[in-house]
């Protein structure tokens, strides 16, 4: 081995030692090499901190219940589902943002988050809030691969990627912000019915997943849509729902359920002999918390967020001048759009069988 580049040589030696120990040591569950995350604010670990966008959360009270009470850019009071998955699988405690300049080699080797709050499957969605588009997230992943190939070599990099899990969580902004929101005039002109828009989004999903496959991904999990009609801000914006006991907006629920059914079929059709595709259902656990959280799951407030009035606050509107609930664990929502850490943990527990399936496939 040519060790003229001391850093490269030491990283390769570290990588070989790490993989050797991992393969020999008895563990309770198979250990993934890395977890890579793409998507929107449901999984953004802080990438938006490093770009010019109004969609930021790197200030209090965000992060109030995170490690050392640090606001990292996660749109909640603590950890995300992706963090719980990383910890459960033994990859790392939390998934860091790729754009964070303080990342270490160890951080890179065990996976990073490319997600950006405000992003979506439709490129126009990201442009509406100056977020990182899914196309740019793919560019960053390819950049990541190039960095790793320089550090540990092409063969080790490919081995790392083939044994990693890829998680995609996006789509809500395409409907909530774009199709039914500020992008409505243009987007609905181009796609006069929601089915045609859904099919356009599926084309983009297919393209993105195929590109991941071409880059070596062999295990890819796609998160479905949440019950969008039950988000506090959606309820607030709908006059009828807001004035009738803050009920969920049924048409938005129907859009999400239709999307999720068709997404599952799409993933089945795309599965290959070399690549496993998984569907992660967040619709049911979130709806369960909203419909029966006060009686069965320990939540006391299910229709407004912890921050501010709970009706409209998110990102910059949720700040230290906002009234904040005393105990966020009693709330399903942290702000008017995003769940609390407690809610994210419940979602993780419901998704755990999917994670276990991935782990099972990892050794088969």
The runs of H, that is alpha helices, within 90-193 are: 105-109, 123-128, 134-152, 154-162, 172-173, 184-190
Distance CA 188, CA 172 (A): 16
Q: What CA–CA distances, in Å, run from 11 to 5, 62, 71, 148? A: 10, 35, 31, 10
334 is written with which tokens? 């942290």
The answer to whether 335 is a known catalytic residue is yes
**Strand, helix or coil for residue 45:** coil
Indicate which residue of 65, 116, 303, 338 is catalytic. Answer: 338
- Ordered DSSP codes for 223-290: E----GGGSHHHHHHSHHHHHTTS---HHHHHHHHHHHHHHHHHHHHH--SS-EEEEE--HHHHHHHH
How long, in residues, is the chain? 364
Of 41, 116, 119, 129, the catalytic one is: 41
Q: Is 338 a catalytic residue?
A: yes
- Yes or no: say if 121 and 204 are a contact pair by the CB < 8 Å rule: yes
Instruction: Establish whether the linkage from the previous residue to 141 is cis, with ω within 30° of 0.
Output: no
- CB contact at 8 A, 169 and 119: no
Determine whether 302 is exposed, middle or buried from the number of CB atoms within 10 Å of its CB (0-12, 13-18, 19+): buried
* 3-class DSSP state of 320: coil
DSSP label of 71: -
Report strand pairing: 301-305 vs 276-280. unpaired
The conformation of residue 299, written as its DSSP 8-state character, comes to -
Instruction: Round to whole Å and give the CA distance between 206 and 244.
Output: 40
Residue tagged active-site, from 44, 65, 281, 335: 335
Q: Helices 283-292 and 341-363 sit at what angle, rounded to 10 degrees?
A: 150
Q: List, by residue number, the catalytic residues.
A: 41, 335, 338
């Amino acid at each position: 081995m040519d060790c003229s580049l001391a850093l490269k040589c030491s990283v390769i030696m570290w990588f070989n030692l790490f993989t050797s120990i991992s393969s020999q040591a008895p563990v309770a569950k198979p250990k993934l090499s890395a977890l890579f995350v793409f998507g929107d604010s449901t999984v953004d670990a802080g990438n938006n901190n490093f770009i010019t966008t109004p969609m930021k959360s790197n200030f209090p009270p965000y992060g109030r219940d995170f490690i050392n009470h640090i606001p990292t850019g996660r749109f909640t009071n603590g950890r995300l589902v992706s963090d719980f998955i990383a910890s459960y699988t033994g990859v790392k405690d939390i998934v860091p943002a790729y754009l964070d300049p303080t990342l270490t080699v160890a951080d890179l080797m065990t996976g990073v988050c490319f997600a950006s709050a405000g992003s979506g499957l439709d490129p126009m969605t990201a442009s509406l809030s100056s977020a990182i588009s899914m196309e740019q997230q793919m560019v960053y992943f390819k950049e990541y691969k190039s960095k790793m190939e320089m550090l540990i070599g092409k063969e080790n990099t490919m081995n790392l990627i083939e044994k990693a899990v890829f998680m995609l969580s996006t789509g809500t902004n395409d409907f909530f912000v774009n199709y039914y929101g500020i992008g409505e005039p243009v987007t609905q002109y181009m796609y006069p019915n929601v089915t045609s828009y859904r099919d356009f989004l599926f084309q983009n999903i297919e393209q993105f997943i195929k590109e991941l496959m071409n880059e070596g991904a062999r295990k890819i999990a796609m998160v479905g849509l949440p019950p969008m009609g039950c988000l506090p801000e959606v309820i607030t914006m709908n006059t009828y729902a807001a004035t009738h006991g803050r009920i969920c907006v049924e048409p938005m629920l129907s859009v999400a359920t239709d999307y999720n059914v068709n997404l599952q079929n799409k993933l089945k059709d795309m599965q290959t002999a070399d690549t496993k595709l998984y569907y992660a259902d967040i619709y049911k656990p979130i709806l369960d918390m909203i419909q029966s959280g006060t009686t069965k799951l320990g939540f006391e407030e299910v229709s407004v967020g912890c921050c501010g009035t709970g009706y409209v606050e998110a990102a910059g509107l949720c700040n230290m001048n906002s009234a904040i609930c005393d105990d966020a664990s009693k709330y399903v929502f942290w702000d008017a759009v995003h769940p609390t850490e407690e809610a994210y943990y419940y979602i993780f527990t419901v998704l755990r069988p999917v994670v276990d399936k991935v782990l099972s496939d990892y050794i088969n």
